[in-house]
Structure formats: C-alpha cells, structure tokens
Amino acid sequence: MFLMRFTERAYVNYTAEDVKNSPNSAVRLTFSNAHFDPQLGSDLYNTYLDEYEYCEEIGFDGLMLNEHHNTPTCMGATMNLEAAILARTTKKPKIVLLGNPLPIFDNPVRLAEELAEIDMISRGRLVSGFVRGTGVESLATNTNPLHNRERFQEAHDLIIKTWTTPGPFRWEGEHYHFRVVNPFETPLQKPHPPIWVPGTGSPETLEWCAEHHYPFVFLETDPEATIDMKTIYADTAREHGYEPGPEHFGYLLRIHVQDTDEYAKEVGKGYLVGNVGVGRLPMPSDYMFPVGYSGRDPKYLALRERIRSDPFRVGGLDTAGYEAILDANRMIIGSPDTVIRKLRDVLSRVRPGILAVWTNDGSISHKDTMRCLELMGQEVLPALREIGEELELTDPFQKAP
C-alpha cells in the first residue's frame, strides 16, 4: 500500500464575521484578499514546507499537494511551485500532484513543460495528477463551466502527446490550437510520469479513468458509496479487457494522532475550520457547482444524488456534527492504537492501494502537527504497512495499473 501525506495548507487568520460580510457570505471566490497578511503567509508557506520535508524522514512514500484558487482554505494556489521546491529538498518520496486543474489552463503545453522540469529535478519522482477543479476554479479564471469536461479531456490528450511524440507537430482541437508544439524538455520518466485522478466519484470521470487505466483517488467519500462507485470503474475496466485491483484505487482520509484519545479529539476540531472555513458558513451552491459543470447522464442520477446528499460532505461539516463524524469514521482521530484499529476497518471495506493521509488542517497547530507526524512514523505507518500486506492492498508501484 502506497502511503502519502496531505494537508490543504489553510490560512485561518480571519473571523466568521469577515466571511458573513463578504459577497454572498462566501469564504471562496469572493472572500476579499484584504484579509490576507503576506507576512503571516510567508511564515505559513515555510512552515508547511518544513512539515512536508519531515514527512520524508518519518517514512511516507509520497508527498501529496493540491491546488485551489481565490480561497484561504488552501494556500496552494500554484502547487507546481511547491512541488518544484520539494523536488529539490527531498530525495525519496514521490511528489504527488492531485492535481492540476486542466480546464483552467489556456496553454497546456506550458503546463507540460513545468511538469517535465519537476520530474527531472526530482530524478523521476513526479506523479502527475489531473483534476477538473471545482466550480470556483472555473469562475475564478473566467473559464466556461459548460466546457469543463471537454477542456479537461482535450488538455490531457495534448499533454500526453507533448510528452510522448517528438515535435514539432501541430494541434488543432476544439478548445486548443497550436501551430507548433515542440517543447525541448521532456519528462525523465518514460513514456511519461504516472497519472492519477482524484475526485468525489463523478461517474463520467470514473469511466474515463478506467478507459485510461488511471488510478482514481476517492476524496473523503462515504465508504459504502465508494464501494458502489468502484463498481462503475470495474465494469468499465472489464469492458476494456482487464480486472482492476487495489492498485487502481486510492482513498483520502483525515487522520490525526496524538498521545491520548482525549487530546487528539480536542485537537482534531481544528479540521472543521480548514476546508470549510472559519465560521463554517455554507458555500453558495452555484460557486461549487455552476450551471453546466456537473454531468447529466440520466443513468447515474440516483448515485449522483446519493453522493451529494452525504451529510458529511465538505460544506456540511459543523461543530454539532463532530461526534457523528468521528462515530462514522469519516475522520480517524485518536491515539495510535485507536487510529490503527479504526483504519483497519476502513481499509478492509474500501480496499485502496493508495492511502492519502490528511494529517492536519485549519487551526491545528504546527506543534501538534509535528507530534502527529512523529507518532505516525513511530507507530501508525509501520502498522499500516502490515495491514496493507495482510489485505493484499497492492499499490501502483508494486503492480502497474
């Protein structure tokens, strides 16, 4: 099982009143950058990079980064810059980008060049994940949400051809037009870096991933719904002549460890002001899912509604629901023994070959984060490796998808 560490790198130096007074009371897209302190931001970026570098020392297989725009909930606005730094300052872990939001790029060839450089600087450790991005990303970059999936797929095809076909060649697509495609730098890994795709289970994306043999990483999805969504991938894979295994699936889960259950539970509340934002005010639905963004295949309406109605989805988290979240194992928080026991149950049900360990977020302090990581290295990661072997959770580097 491949174990990678993740955090959203949140900025929480603002108040609930600030959010309430923003346009549409939204913490994303229209929350003013007047609330941002660059000096604090400088400190936070360096702290987050220090934490990622420590993750190599304690034994994580990968360092996972993501990207969001116009929001304090994720400071990774240009994660490729962070990836380039980690590519140079670390030696062993994979640099896992989950991922670059392809539809918002007007020049995928430039993105292909950036990723090729990261792969070379890291000596071939890049895992290049691609995403459609939330509606916020489309709106923040003035990209028509109606064309989101089309642009995603065409940008992907252009990047793959750029990496694998000697130039110069011409590209005349529906959304991208290049008279000359011929970047001189190409990735170290051949034919190209591994590609993983994260998401919350869009059926159309699951089918597309299965067609391309790409691992799909489920982001905090309900375990039972995840099993149903894996069926969509598996059915499509069989149509294309192969049987998917754990190496085709990943799972992201918030996991925080402290010396005692009681202290871990208190610290873990910090997650609630991370991805949702200080004040935990509901996001306007048209920010995350603007008209034209979501899939419309009628055969998946029931599953899509089930995914959206999940009471623990990001945006519905609140303080009153914290106990329910813990009881349902949607966050695994506690002492090492408690965390290991609960993780065994989740892993046996979901069976991912890739586990993304979301160690901290929101108001969880650097001190508590470092103790969490220390306990991870000492007790949790070794136990997870044993569980992975016991459950035969092969990962993409043990058995190529």
User: What integer pLDDT is reported at residue 193 of this predicted model?
Assistant: 98
6 token code pair: 């993740």
State how far the Cα of 64 lies from the Cα of 93, in Å rounded to an integer: 10
pTM confidence score: 0.95
State how far the Cα of 126 lies from the Cα of 195, in Å rounded to an integer: 9
- pLDDT, greater one: 205 or 314: 205
pLDDT at 309 over 70: no
Looking at the domain that runs over 2-390, which CATH code has it been given?
A: 3.20.20.30
How much is the average pLDDT of 8-18?
A: 97
Q: Which two tokens stand for residue 127?
A: 């895992």
Quick check: 38 and 95 in contact, CB under 8 A?
no
Domain boundaries, the chain: 2-390
Q: Provide the pLDDT confidence category of residue 308 given band limits of 50, 70 and 90.
A: low
Which amino acid is located at 291 in the chain?
V
The pLDDT, as a whole number, for residue 293 is 87
Question: Which residue in the block uniquely carries the two structure tokens 């992975």?
Answer: 388
Q: Which residues pair with 255 in a beta bridge?
A: 332
Mean pLDDT in the chain?
A: 94
Distances in whole angstroms, Cα of residue 297 to Cα of each of 213, 288, 303, 309:
22, 19, 11, 18
Number of neighbouring beta carbons within 10 Å of residue 13: 14
CA-to-CA dists, residue 204 to 132, 188, 220, angstroms: 12, 31, 18
Neighbour tally for 110: CB within 10 Å: 11
Q: Which pLDDT score, from 0 to 100, does residue 67 have?
A: 97
Q: How far apart are CA 38 and CA 99, in angstroms?
A: 25
User: If DSSP states are collapsed to H, E and C, what string results for 213-247?
Assistant: CCCEEEECCCHHHHHHHHHHHHHHHHHCCCCCCHH
Give exposure, 266-276, as e/b (b: 16+ Cβ within 10 Å): ebbebbbbbbb
Placement of tokens 């509901």 in the chain:
282
Asked if pLDDT for residue 397 goes beyond 80, the answer is yes
Ramachandran area for residue 197 (φ above 0: left; ψ -120 to 50: alpha; else beta): beta
